[in-house]
Amino acid sequence: MQIENAGGACSPRFSILGAVSQSPMSRRPSRPIYLIGLMGVGKSTIGPLLAERLGRRFRDSDQEIEARDGRTIAQIFDAEGEAGFRRVEAETIDQLAGEGAVIALGGGAIKPAGALERLLERGDLVYLEAPAEVLAARIGADSGRPLLAGLDEKARLERLRELLEERRPLYERASWRVDARGEARQVVERILAILPQTSREMRNAAEDQ
């Protein structure tokens, strides 16, 4: 949703918690919640905490790919290239769609033609957003990132900036946009504050304990 600023131009509606509401979110608990954003933004850390609060399962698409394929993400990239990896990734995400889980997606899962549209049709997307400098600091010299392999600190930062610029138009089509800076639990609270189904699901989760 957008509002007009004083100059008449439209701008996103920001909450005091640093989140942006961009479209109504489904209230059906069976729809998965997809966490999207660039590598290093914290999807695999925030996801389990969010799932626990909502009483849902958590799935990490990269972990699922490695478990099912028997190879690491880097090995799949080396053997089949990025295009081959994206095919495996898409198949895995399709298989996870029916679980109604909180699902952390790889940073480039929205890249293939039609991928974003399928995700929006099946579930609700939360874009976790942070500047390239924050992402670079979190990633460090992690050698398990194929798109950053062989790069020094300066080159990694530049590459992250390029990837953000390239993917931002897709990321910003998500159902919700949330500031991912700060501690993981702070980010979870920001997400919970904007999900319409949060109160009901948290109440149900508490009753099940």
Angle, vertex CA 144, rays to CA 98 and CA 128, nearest 5: 50
Q: How confident is the model at residue 149 (pLDDT cuts 50, 70, 90)?
A: confident
State the virtual CA torsion across 56, 65, 77, 37 in degrees, nearest 10.
-10
Name the residue with tokens 């080159």: 155
Strands 19-21, 33-36: parallel, antiparallel or unpaired by DSSP? unpaired
Q: Residue 13 forms beta bridges with which residues?
A: 21
What's the distance, CA 65 to chain centroid? 16
Tell me the whole-structure pTM to 2 decimals: 0.80
pLDDT at 143: 63
Q: Which one has a higher pLDDT value, 172 or 6?
A: 172
Identify whether the C-beta of residue 20 lies closer than 8 Å to the C-beta of residue 191: no
Q: How many Cα neighbours within 13 Å face the side chain of 32? A: 26
Q: How confident is the model at residue 163 (pLDDT cuts 50, 70, 90)?
A: very high
First CA to last CA distance, the chain: 36
Share of the chain above pLDDT 90, in %: 71
Could you give the domains of the chain?
17-198 (3.40.50.300)
Q: How confident is the model at residue 33 (pLDDT cuts 50, 70, 90)?
A: very high
